[in-house]
Amino acid sequence: MIGKFPVIETERLKLREVTKEDASDLLRYLSDEEIVKHMGLPPFQSVDDAYDEINWYSSIYQEGTGIRWGITLKENDQVIGSCGFLNRQPKHFRAEVGFELSRKHWGQGIASEALEAVVQYGFSQLQLERIEALIVPENLPSQRMVEKMGLQKEGLLRHYEYTNGKFDDLYMYSLLKDDL
């Protein structure tokens, strides 16, 4: 997957690589407790937290285990969220998709537009057969969004992750290439 970072454009959005210059944008929305409460992260406290996140995006891309795009509106290039793949398993043709969006952009269809483009990229460019989404039961808006896109709820993974000092149950959703 190494090489020039791919840019994806949709009707309203430009999905692009997140760089150190975007740290203040990430800090702005990832310091919001409402945004991170379902992500297994504490709210960001400083720009160093944002740099750590950007470094993680870069490392998963370099290692080929994932790719995370910054979500920007075409008119201003400010990062307002991110969307992409992690835990990519090329041998098994699958990856997990994740996303988050700044609160002031909720309810406008932006996350759905970004997720749809990323899913298409995964099937067409990464040769994925299966895309998974792991969502905490309390995160009803994300569940509704992925269900609307056609992901199927497969079941509950009990105490699947340990984050922020507690065990989290996660719903497993999936979309197969043939489901489209």
Which domains, from first to last, does the chain contain? Answer: 8-132 (3.40.630.30)
- Does the structure show a pLDDT above 90 at 32? yes
* Residue whose tokens read 């929305």: 29
Looking at residue 153, its pLDDT comes to 98
Burial of 8 from C-beta contacts in 10 A (0-12 / 13-18 / 19+): middle
- Does the structure show a pLDDT above 80 at 2? no
Looking at residue 3, its pLDDT comes to 73
CA distance 154 to 96: 14
- Specify the DSSP class assigned to residue 13: E
- Which tens digit of pLDDT belongs to each residue from 72-130? 999 999 999 999 999 999 999 999 999 999 999 999 999 999 999 999 999 999 999 99
Average pLDDT over residues 26-51: 94
Residue 81: count of CB within 10 angstroms of its CB: 25
Distances (CA, A) of 84 to 2, 101, 120, 151: 15, 12, 11, 16
Global pTM value: 0.94
Contact 145, 38 (CB under 8 A): no
> Who wins on pLDDT, 38 or 60?
60
